[in-house]
Each structure stands twice: as structure tokens, then as C-alpha cells.
Structure 1
Amino acid sequence: MAPPQLASTCLSDKPHDHRVSDVTIHFNGCLRGSKRKKFYEGLPVESQRRILRDNEGVSELRHRLETAQCDSTAAARLRTFKSAMRQWCLATNRPSDSYARGPAFDSSRRPSGMSGYFGSEDLVNSHIKAPVMYFKNGQPIDVPGIANSFPNQKVMMSDLLSADETTNLLMQPCDDDVVRYFHLPANNMVWVEEVIARYYHETRPDSEGMFLKSEVMRPKTKTEMLLRPEYWHGQQNFDVDSEVHARHMRPFCDGISVDPVTTERHPKNLALFMPYLHWETDRGRLKSAQIAKEASKQNLSSIAEVANQAAQNQLSQMHTQDTASPVLEPPLTSGSMSTYVGGDRRKALGQVLRTAAALLEAMDLHTEEQLMIKYLHAQPPLHPRRTLDQSYYGALKNTGTRDRDQVVYRGTTPEPHDCIGMESCEQCNEDIRKLPRIVMVDQLWLWILDEKTVITSFPRRWGKNRPDPSAIHKSLRMRFKFAHHQGEISSAYDLALMIVDECSRVFFDRTKTNNRQPNLVELFTGAIRDLTYKQTAAFDQFLIYTHLASRDYKRERYINSDNSTQNTLLNINPEGNLLKEVKDIMDEIHIMMRIKEQQHTVMEGLVKHIRRALVPLVRPKRHSPSAMSWDVGEDELYPGEITRQQKAENERQKANMKRTLDRTDHLLLDLEDRMSELRTLLENAQNTSAALKDLLTLKQQQAGVIEAREAVKQAQLTLKQGQSIMIFTIVTIIFLPLSFCVGFFGMNAIELNDGLLPLTTEFKYMFPISAGIILVSFVFAFSQTVLSNSIVMLARSAVSFGYNTALTWVLVKTGMYVAGRQMLVQANRLRDMEGTITGGMKAEVLRKEKNLERMRAAGHVKKLTARHRVGDDNGSQSGRATPFSPYSVGTPGSPFVVASGSGFQNQGKGLGVSMDDIDVELGERARQHSDHGLAPRKMSSRQLV
């Protein structure tokens, strides 16, 4: 069957009009206004509800951003987008009033599944969903009263935290044959305490008042027993002064008795904390680090900073009200229209695309941003995600450099290359799809309550409000959905085993083909393979240059060598760099093996607890010592006489228990296989490291041979020089008396040759002049530095004194000095005035874009993939449609809309502008202003914002 033909306005070149996950994108961004009604009416009911639900959520989010009391990144990006849309409408002579008005929000038409979005004081918890799954007799069932079906049913976190039994599923009773699973999408200790307290119909324990006398004397509640310090706060491995990324729970797994009177022999409740590997994009890591830094600043702000922030929020509200009112644009005249042609229209269109992509990203990150700001420094606090190096070097303040030195980051980052010509080459087209990624270390928190309720807590990737195929919970839902055996999930222990196994198998599951998730094992194998190849090439090069050095040494008496061979042999920088890389690889593998060892310890505790709970009913078979297997007696589940129905139930429970215990054995065996795979990588890296060390040792020995040869050569040269000096000495000794005699008797003296001067007079001139020359020569020879510097300094000082005296006299006498000082004062005054005026202008511009400075680039800004572009040829007619009508989701009032009319599409297509090529890091402009000293004087960064 041929793929459906897509219109030229589609955001993607792949068929996506029938995909449920992309139906909203196709409806809003690909179809023209005239085709939307027909497309909408031909969709299934569920798809129609999805479009309505998504557009309702977008409109509600826009309303919330424009009316929020505290400003956010998404609110600032929304204002910037609206401003860009007004400029584009001005450039294309289109009406722009709809982009200045706020959304016509109608809360009466909200979907039933979004009840927590409106009228709630807790805007964070009411916008985060917690997945819920129910199993009855081993079979998944749908929870009544919740939208969607298994395994995609979710409830609002605000509902799980509320004390209302009618809305909180945790407080509602369930049958004995039902197993429930609730997941909290963040490692938030506040959520955990509240949820467990709601499960037991109790209030959240006050950790600060537990040590008061009045609290110690009273009986403890079940929640306090389950969250005792040794099982909860005592397992935290950080203090108040630690870095934010140092927060984590120690690997732990143990059964907990909640009975304050008696101690259970086999507790039904269990707490488990386990680290596991996952991944994140480098951009997501950078964004989360920036938000964490901003949240820390807000938490540690002084009174003056709080007052300044309040003034900024008030200014933001004033600006929001200004944007909500109609903007008075200057009327378009023939002169003004002439300026919006060609390049200006292209510039306005490019600005719209950039701000639209930035707005999309900010909307995607808005919930996580608000969650971190609220709970990062709460008591107890939120545990953020950690990188591989942060999990091991928790004391480091900043690990950005180490994070970008990971093997996975280097393997997923495109290498720069020279591209000739204006058109991009195939390598450019391939590199633009690459996304730098890094390895993260997340935490799994798991509780089994009363053997029928499982609560887990682990984070998701930063900003992933949309489905993420590589997410742990997404994999769990698919695994639960396609369970092969009837009754495979018959107890809470089965759920716990599958959750722990799914967290442990990240990066090691060969059955999953996810292009976005990095193939960790393949990347490490490739990095070690490349280093091994370079080490082999370096060894071959060493042997070649060693042979050349030996040949040059033998032929040295005939030819002169340029010493290039010796310089290559003495240079250890290439091998040193290779050794550093392999050491980094070994370090990362050691960290991952350490995490796997912690997982092994936690899994052994889980298996031990499960076996303690099931072994009284199950006994191992002794005839197969190589592989443990289990059996259940007929009379151990139902003692005495049993009926046929009880016997069938006995057989079913026997099979379930055997399956659970067999899964515990396979769980440990699978972890051993993954650890063995990491050991293989470590052994390969160690072999390469040992080979490099051997090569460096050989180079050191070869350097010793070269030094010995050079020493022999120097000794031979010294011997030759001594022989030459001896020859010169002998010649000098022979000819010195002869020269003296010739010189003496050849003198023009009266006593010798009837000359003009007597001999005594000539001696009076000869000896003093010779003595003076010899003395000066000896002084310069043996005291050159002190004497010469003193003479030079004396001469320079004399010349400088005369020059400065004369110049000062001329300047003073002619009046040039006074005139120069007046000109300097005037120039400084003008410079101050210029700085004040330009500083005020820049402050005005930066005040309108007050949030851009938060999003400064950190040295490695990458391009963001965005897929939203909207075209509408109905112009202002679609803008008058009902906001919540499915045919008006492309109206200018919607934040998804980029422009309307076919002209926009033709311009975008002609320009070759793609949302995938948009760099959304608009904060780079503010950073450049501050780095180049363009900020106004005497104004702080907060005043500029």
C-alpha cells in the first residue's frame, strides 16, 4: 500500500497524518484552514478528543503564563513570540491585534480529565500526572473514573496528595486479589511522605517534632513506623552544606514492620532504594543545571534581593497588562511599506521561527522548572538527576567539563569538518541530526505496602512531557501490556521484580531499537577499539623510527642527520594523550560497575525478602543443584481436606509462587551477565592501557639509548676539540718567542734602529695602554651584567632628565599643558554622558527582554529540533472563530500558530527555513552584551533584568 500523499505544508516529510501521537501536530501545523473541518470529521472519536484536549491544555497554559504572579521562562518567551508576530504582521501588512490580546479562556469547556488544572492553589502538583495500574487475579484491569485505558491511565498528583477519599485512589479500599501500582514521576521526598500517609489514612509525620517528649511518649502511627529515620531520612547521603547534585539515598532494601506493638517475623512492607543508569541530552542537563542554580539563588536571597524580585514581578505584571491591551502600531504608509521588503521580511520571518521554537521548548520545560523551584530546597528536599561524574564526585561544585568528556558525549557529538561551497554536504546533513547525550545516574525508590500496593518514584528525562520511548515507565507499560503468561503479575512481588529488572537493564536490552537512546556498550566498544588501533599504529611507528634511528647512527660518519627521528622517539605526548583517554574510559566503566554492584546488593536484599515471605509455603527441589527450582506442597496452602475448587486455587497459587521464585533467580543471573559485559569492556580497556604503558616504557628505554649515543658522540667531539687546542697551543708556543723577537727588534727605537723615540719612552706608552685594555676586557668579561647595566642606566637617566626637563619647560611656557588638561576633562565628561544615554537605551531594551539573561549559552549551544509550523490561508477570518472550536485551533490567538495564509508557507519554503535548524538559545545576545562591556554603568544585572 502506497504511503499517503502529504501536502507541501507538512512539517515532516514522513507520513504522520494517521498517527495518533502526531494527529494534533498534523491538524494544527500541516493542514490549511479550509481542510481542517473535513480532516477533523473523518477522525475517530478518540483522536478528536485528543485534539480538543491538547488545544485546551495549550490555551490554559498560555492563560496561566500571562496571568501568573511569578514570572517564568515560558512567560518571557511567550511575550517575545507575540512581539515577533506583531513585527511580522507589520512587515506583511496583516492585522496584528489578535497577537496582542490575551486568549479568550473559557473554563466551562475544560475536559473532564483536566479538573485539577483550574482553581487550584497548588499549580505544580495540579499539572503533574501520576500513572496508575491495577491488576486483578494477574490480569490488568481499567480503573473506573479515570480517562484512557490500561496501561495509560493517570491521575493528578494533587489528587494523590489530597485527603479526600472520593478522589484519592490510595485511600479507597481494594479487594484481596487486586494489586495496585502508583508511580511518582520525581524523587520528591515530600510527595513520598504525603502519599504514604494518605495510604494509611493518616497525617504526614513532622520530622522536626518526632524527637519532642510529647511525640516520643505517644504511640507511633504506621506512617511513622514505615518512615522511621533508619529507613528514610537516615538513608540520605548528604547534608545541608552539600552540593545539590550530591543528594541521593544509599543503596538499601529491607522489610519494615509497621506494627508499633509487636515485631513481625516476616514483614509485609518493604522499602528499596537503588541507583540505575539512564541518559539525558547535554542540552537538557544544561537547562536543569541552570534552573537548579536559579532555584538556589532564590532560596538564598537576601531581603534586598527579595524586594528587587518583587519589583521585577510587579513590572512583569504591568508589562503583561500592556501586552493584553491592543498595541498601537504605527499606520502603514507607502514609505513604511518600502522598508519591509526583501531582507526585512526575511528577518521578521526568521525571528518568528526562532521565537516559536524557543516558546515550544519553554512550554515543554515549564512544569519541570516550576517543580524544581518549589521543591528543590524544601524540607525534605527534591533529589535532582545526577550525571555519571556527579554520582561519584559529589563534592565537586561543577562537573560540566567532566560531563562533556564522557565517552557517550564524544561518541554522539558531530566532529567539525571543512565543508567546501555554500551547499551542505552529506556529512553536514547527517551531523545536523546528531544530538549530544550523556549518561545519568537516577534513583529508584520503591515501597511494597501490605503486599498489595506498590509505590515507585524515579525521575523522567528533563522536559519530557510527551511520550518518551526510552523512559523506564514507558518500557514498564509496554511490558505489562504484552505480558505473555496468564497471571504473570499475580502479586506485588512480581511487580517489584519487573520494575527492578527494567531499571537494571537500561543500555543492556538488545531487543529495543531506540534511535534516540545511546547504545552505551557499542559506544564504549568503539572507543576502546579506536584507542587500540591508535596504540597499534603508534607501536608500529615506534618500530619504524627506531629502525631509522639505528640506520642513521650507523651511517652518521657519511651523512648528517636532521635529528627529526630522535625528536619523534623522544616525544611522548601522543601516547600520553591516548593513555589519558583510556584512563577516562576505565574510570567511567569503574563507576558503572560500582553502580551495578550496588544494584546487586539491593537485589539480593529484595530476593531475600521475597524468599522469606514465600519459603514457608514453598520448598526448593534438591535434585537439581545447578539450577534452583521450587515446588509447593499440596497441604501447605490449604491444610486438611480440600475441595476441588480449593485444589484448583492451590495449583494456581503454586504456579504463581514458582514463577515468582524462578524470576528471583533469573533476576540475579541477568545482572551477573550485565556485570560480565562491563568486566569485558574493562579488561579490553586495561589491555590497551597496559600496551600503552609498555610502549611508553620502550620509548623511555630508547630515549636512554639515544642519550648514551649522544654522550658518546659528545665525548668524541670533546676529544677532537682537545686535540685541536693542543695543536694550536704547540703552534703558539713555537711562534710566540719568534714573534716577540721580531716585534722587539723591529721597533723604531734610537737604541735599536736609530729611530725617533728612545726605548724607555716607547715602554711608557706600551705597558700602560696594554694594561688598561686588558683590565677593561677582564671587567666586561667577568662582570658583564652589573657593569654594563649600570653604565646603560646612567646614560639613559642622563638623557631622560634632559629630555623631560626641556619638554616640560616648553609645554608650560607655551600654555599647551593647560589646554591639554581642559581637553581631557571635556572628553571624560562627554564619555560619561554617552555612557549614561546609551546605557539607558540598552536598559530599556533589556527590560523588555528581561528574562533572556537567564538563558545564557554555556559554550556549547546546539540546535533544537522543533516540528511546529502553522499555515492558514483564511487570514483574519479564522481569527474570529471560537477559541475552543476544533476549527479555530490555528487562530492567531493560539501559541502554536506561527503565521497564517499561503504566503507565509511560500516564504518559509523559499527561504529553506526548517524548524530543525533553529537555534533557540536567544540568551546568547544578552551574554554578548555583558561580555563586551555593553551594559550600562553602575547598574547591576538584576536592575538590567
Structure 2
Amino acid sequence: MGDFEDDLDEVDQSTITAYLNDPPALHIRRTLDQYSYHMLRCTARWDQDQVVSRWARRWARRERVHIHNILMVDQLWLWMHSLGQSPAQASTQASSKYRPEYVITAFPERTEADYLNRGCSEDIKSQVLASNKRLREPICTMRDLGTRILFTCFNVFDRFQDRETLQFFHMFEDSVRTIDDNESSLFGEFQSHSTALHELGMKSRNFGQRKRMLMEQLLDIREETRSLVEIKDIRDEIHIILSVFHSQLSVLDRLVGEESNKNTNLGPFAISNAVERLIQNNITDFTKLDNQAELIQDKLNTLLDLKQKASNAWEARSARECALEAAKQGNTMMVFTVVTIIFLPLSFMASFFALNITAFPQDEKSGESSWPLGLLSAYLFGIAIAISVPLIIIAMNVQHFSNLWQRIRNDYFILLQMTIIQYLPGFRPESPGFKKLEERRDAYLNEQEELENDQGLHPEKA
């Protein structure tokens, strides 16, 4: 067992060695996760990351201390026996004849806490026998001692502990409050980053870099995820602690019932009142704390949901901006296309008329082509305009002409083929070729009708 075994005395080591694996197995002390998730082979990772451990690490950085407590689930074995006493004698503090009463307890000692034990805390025996302001009654009977033992063992979450390192309920409260404050800060940062991003103008200095930085800060969910994981761990430990409290209450109820059946003259078992109130108060406190932690968990989920929605909104906005930018680039390309369509025929015709062709007008002295300006301009610009204008019209209405060509090819041309087939000898409307053309035309017309309906167009059918 390593270091854990080194911190035990000889009696405890011998007990564990002798009875740990014997039926019934010895139940040694367990951490919260070992108690709740007993089916797991190892819970070391969770044991080192308890709420108490995280709080203690923050406290240790301030106090410069590196040793701290963790929460354990121990078993208390308690036997109360009176030799030769009747129930009536057991109910009185002083009987006519003394009868010995025995209270036998068994519980594990604290381990690996030498630093904290030195003048900081006492063992359970000393705490039981010490004066307790919350239990003013003196120990006069066996049941008084039993009540004091149970109250001391169940009072681990006492808010009035002198040592800060033993105020476990305060550690849970402080951890929940810290996450709540962190959630409020994260929500404020989200709001400020969102506002700054909306107010960022395109003419701002370093617009692209500033926008990218704000987007990264706005959509960063690392802190929210860390806080969400931590609050879920806190709630998990609270639920484990509540299950321990309910187990304590169940055992106490059975004990009271058994004692009431044995001693009908005593009424409720004397142990029940103070101890039951203590357990019920612990259940109430941790239930309220769990409700508060649940609200914080819901707020963190809401913040993550808002960031996801903001991410979707900004992605849609970026897509729209990219579409607008693509449209601008398309317009620019259209300008270059029109210019190319205009000047390409001009340059081609100019090069063509510059060739030395015998049919062209020639200069008598040089023998080279020599065109009159008016005639050359008429040919050059006339041919260029005749070529450029139709091409420009087609370029600016590509989709329209594409749809027109599809209609001609899949409607009018097929209709023409079907009309011709009807007049050819040997072909009938029932022939496979005719039916295939008819099905192709019907499919095209149905597709166009569905497209028009999707676009909200409802043309009248001829």
C-alpha cells in the first residue's frame, strides 16, 4: 500500500494485512469517489481533484502551505451494552444498585496529517470528551456518551470550526461562489466583446487584425468549459455527501426503532434528537447549495449557448460578406469581359487589314496596303460592333440564354422531332422512340414547373 501504509501504526497495519481480503472483507476508509464509484478499479485522478483539494491549493498559495485535508468516508462501529440492567434502570441517571455500562467504538485514525495535527486538531476521543457548547448536557449515562460520539462523528461539516482548513462546508460554499463570480465576469466580457465587434467600423485602423482578435475572444469557450466541468464536479461531490447523510439518517432511524421496541417505557431513543437535527441540517444546507450550483450550471450552459448562437450569426454574416465580395469581383470581371469583347475584334480586324493582300488597296510607290480612313473605319468598327454587341448581350445574360437553350433543346426541338416522326412512314405515336421523346419532354416541363413553384411563380397554363 506504499506511503499510506507507512502512516499507519502497527495495530492498523496488522489488521489490514490480516482481514483486508478475507470474507467478509475489511472496509477500510475510502475517499468520496471510492465510496460512490466502488466498481472502478482506480479513482486516483478524482481523489486528487476534490473540491476540498482545489480550494486548499488556492488557500495554500496564500498561506504557503503544501499539505491539506481531503474528505474521507469512514465507518463507525458502536456497541452499547449494560450488564444486568433492566430498561427502567437504564433510563435513570442514578440507580439504586450500580450496574456497569459499556460503550465500545471502532473507527480509523487520521493519516498523513501530521502537520495539521500539531496543535491544530484533536483525535475523535478528545473531541468527544471535550466540552461542547452545542451539547450542554453532561455525560451521565451510556446513551449520553453514545449521543456525544455520534454527534462528534457526524459533525464534520460544523461551521464553527476554529481551523479554516477544517471548515469543509465553507470550502464548498466558497468554490460555488467563485464559479458564480467567474460566470458573471465571463458574461460581461462576452457582452463587451460583442458590442465592440458590432461597433467596429471597416475604416478603423487595423480593421482585419482587430476583428480577428475580437472574434477569437468572443468565441473562446475554454474558461466557460472549465467552469462548467468544475461546477459539475462540485455537484457530483454534493450528491455523494447527501447520499452519506441519507445513509446516516437511515441507520439512525433503524436504531431508534429497535430501541423503542426494546424499551417501550423510554419513548424515542435518547440519541435521536440532537443527532437527527444535525443530519437534517446538513441535508438542508447541502441541498440549498446544490440548488445554487444547479442555477450556476444553467447560467454557464446559457452562456455557451449564446456563444454558439453568436458564432452561427457571425458565420452567416461572414458568408454574406464573402458573397457580396464575390459579387463585386464578378462585376469587375464583367467589365474586363466587356472590354475584351470590344477590343478583341478591333485588334483582330486591324491586324487583318494591315496584311499585304493584293485585293486590298495598295500604295503605288511602296506597294503596301493603303486604306482610305473612312473606308477602313467603316469596315473596322462595323465588323467589331456586329461581333461585340451580340457577345456583350450574351455575356450579360448568360443564365437567361442558358435557360433558353435548355428549353429549345428539351422542349421545342423534341416537339419538332415528334412532329416529324408522326409524318414519317412506319413510325407511330406508340413506337418506343416516340414515347422516349415524350417522356423526356414531360420530365423537363415538370422540372421547370417545380422550379417556378419554389420561386413563388405561378404562370398561367396555356
Change (3 A) 1:440 1:364: closer
Partner of 1:391: 35
Q: 1:456 aligns with which of 105, 121, 126?
A: 105
Q: Please state how far the C-alpha of 1:540 moved relative to its aligned partner.
A: 1.0
Q: After superposition, give the CA deviation of every residue in 1:884-943 in whole Å (9 maximum; x if it has no partner).
A: xxxxxxxxxxxxxxxxxxxxxxxxxxxxxxxxxxxxxxxxxxxxxxxxxxxxxxxxxxxx
Q: Secondary structure at the match of 2:157?
A: coil
Matched, 1:538 2:186: yes
Change (3 A) 1:578 1:514: closer
Partner of 2:174: 526
Q: After superposition, give the CA deviation of every residue in 1:185-242 in whole Å (9 maximum; x if it has no partner).
A: xxxxxxxxxxxxxxxxxxxxxxxxxxxxxxxxxxxxxxxxxxxxxxxxxxxxxxxxxx
Matched, 1:441 2:52: no
Looking at structure 2, the residues matched to 386 and 364 of structure 1 have their Cα atoms a distance apart, in angstroms, of 15
Looking at structure 2, the residues matched to 700 and 669 of structure 1 have their Cα atoms a distance apart, in angstroms, of 46
Q: Secondary structure at the match of 2:75?
A: strand
Matched, 1:403 2:119: no
Partner of 2:127: 475
Looking at structure 2, the residues matched to 727 and 397 of structure 1 have their Cα atoms a distance apart, in angstroms, of 73
Q: After superposition, give the CA deviation of every residue in 1:395-421 in whole Å (9 maximum; x if it has no partner).
A: 22221111111111112226898xxxx
1:95-114 equivalent positions in 2, closer than 5 A? none
Q: Please state how far the C-alpha of 1:518 moved relative to its aligned partner.
A: 2.6
Looking at structure 1, the residues matched to 140 and 121 of structure 2 have their Cα atoms a distance apart, in angstroms, of 22
Q: Secondary structure at the match of 1:384?
A: coil
What is the count of residue pairs matched by the alignment?
Answer: 339
Q: 2:25 aligns with which of 381, 384, 389?
A: 381
Give the aligned residue type for 2:188: D
Structure 2 gap ranges (5+): 84-100, 369-462
Looking at structure 1, the residues matched to 305 and 187 of structure 2 have their Cα atoms a distance apart, in angstroms, of 12
Q: Name the TM-score, length of structure 1 as normaliser.
A: 0.33
Q: Secondary structure at the match of 1:438?
A: coil
Looking at structure 1, the residues matched to 34 and 135 of structure 2 have their Cα atoms a distance apart, in angstroms, of 36
1:838-917 equivalent positions in 2, closer than 5 A? none
Q: Please state how far the C-alpha of 1:538 moved relative to its aligned partner.
A: 0.8
Looking at structure 2, the residues matched to 751 and 370 of structure 1 have their Cα atoms a distance apart, in angstroms, of 124
Contact 1:387–1:441 (8 Å) recurs in 2:
yes
Looking at structure 1, the residues matched to 20 and 26 of structure 2 have their Cα atoms a distance apart, in angstroms, of 5
Looking at structure 2, the residues matched to 370 and 750 of structure 1 have their Cα atoms a distance apart, in angstroms, of 124
Partner of 1:571: 220
Matched, 1:287 2:6: no
Matched, 1:500 2:150: yes
Matched, 1:724 2:332: yes
Looking at structure 1, the residues matched to 81 and 44 of structure 2 have their Cα atoms a distance apart, in angstroms, of 40
Contact 2:159–2:169 (8 Å) recurs in 1:
no
Looking at structure 2, the residues matched to 618 and 436 of structure 1 have their Cα atoms a distance apart, in angstroms, of 44
Q: Name the TM-score, length of structure 2 as normaliser.
A: 0.64
Q: Please state how far the C-alpha of 1:583 moved relative to its aligned partner.
A: 0.9
Q: Please state how far the C-alpha of 1:598 moved relative to its aligned partner.
A: 1.0
Q: 1:593 aligns with which of 238, 242, 250?
A: 242
Looking at structure 2, the residues matched to 522 and 483 of structure 1 have their Cα atoms a distance apart, in angstroms, of 22
Give the aligned residue type for 2:180: T
Q: Secondary structure at the match of 1:381?
A: coil
Change (3 A) 1:593 1:484: closer
Q: 1:741 aligns with which of 349, 352, 362?
A: 349
Looking at structure 1, the residues matched to 178 and 110 of structure 2 have their Cα atoms a distance apart, in angstroms, of 30
Q: Secondary structure at the match of 1:443?
A: coil
Contact 2:7–2:111 (8 Å) recurs in 1:
no
Q: Secondary structure at the match of 2:108?
A: coil
Contact 1:388–1:403 (8 Å) recurs in 2:
yes
Partner of 1:683: 291
Change (3 A) 1:459 1:698: same
Matched, 1:556 2:206: no
Looking at structure 1, the residues matched to 225 and 76 of structure 2 have their Cα atoms a distance apart, in angstroms, of 39
More helix, by proportion: 2
Q: 2:254 aligns with which of 581, 605, 615?
A: 605
Give the aligned residue type for 2:334: M
Q: 2:309 aligns with which of 701, 706, 715?
A: 701
Change (3 A) 1:441 1:485: closer
**Identity, % of aligned positions:** 29
Contact 1:507–1:521 (8 Å) recurs in 2:
yes
Contact 2:69–2:113 (8 Å) recurs in 1:
no
Looking at structure 2, the residues matched to 744 and 416 of structure 1 have their Cα atoms a distance apart, in angstroms, of 92
Q: 1:581 aligns with which of 205, 230, 235?
A: 230
Give the aligned residue type for 1:525: E
Q: After superposition, give the CA deviation of every residue in 1:431-490 in whole Å (9 maximum; x if it has no partner).
A: 1x341321111112233446744333221112689999343333223359x98546x442
Q: After superposition, give the CA deviation of every residue in 1:792-841 in whole Å (9 maximum; x if it has no partner).
A: xxxxxxxxxxxxxxxxxxxxxxxxxxxxxxxxxxxxxxxxxxxxxxxxxx
Contact 1:476–1:499 (8 Å) recurs in 2:
yes
Give the aligned residue type for 1:677: D
Contact 2:78–2:105 (8 Å) recurs in 1:
yes
1:292-441 equivalent positions in 2, closer than 5 A? 368-413=12-57, 430-431=63-64, 433-441=65-73
Radius of gyration: which is bigger? 2
Change (3 A) 1:384 1:737: same
Change (3 A) 1:551 1:463: closer
Looking at structure 2, the residues matched to 286 and 672 of structure 1 have their Cα atoms a distance apart, in angstroms, of 38
Looking at structure 1, the residues matched to 295 and 260 of structure 2 have their Cα atoms a distance apart, in angstroms, of 41
Q: Please state how far the C-alpha of 1:571 moved relative to its aligned partner.
A: 1.7
Q: Please state how far the C-alpha of 1:366 moved relative to its aligned partner.
A: 5.3
Q: Secondary structure at the match of 2:130?
A: helix
Looking at structure 1, the residues matched to 60 and 354 of structure 2 have their Cα atoms a distance apart, in angstroms, of 82
Change (3 A) 1:485 1:593: closer
1:55-134 equivalent positions in 2, closer than 5 A? none
Partner of 2:141: 490
Q: Please state how far the C-alpha of 1:741 moved relative to its aligned partner.
A: 3.4
Q: Secondary structure at the match of 2:76?
A: strand
Change (3 A) 1:470 1:683: farther
Change (3 A) 1:463 1:705: closer
Looking at structure 2, the residues matched to 719 and 483 of structure 1 have their Cα atoms a distance apart, in angstroms, of 83
Looking at structure 2, the residues matched to 707 and 377 of structure 1 have their Cα atoms a distance apart, in angstroms, of 60
Contact 2:31–2:72 (8 Å) recurs in 1:
yes
RMSD (Å) for aligned C-alpha atoms: 3.5
Q: Secondary structure at the match of 1:685?
A: helix
Looking at structure 2, the residues matched to 441 and 372 of structure 1 have their Cα atoms a distance apart, in angstroms, of 17
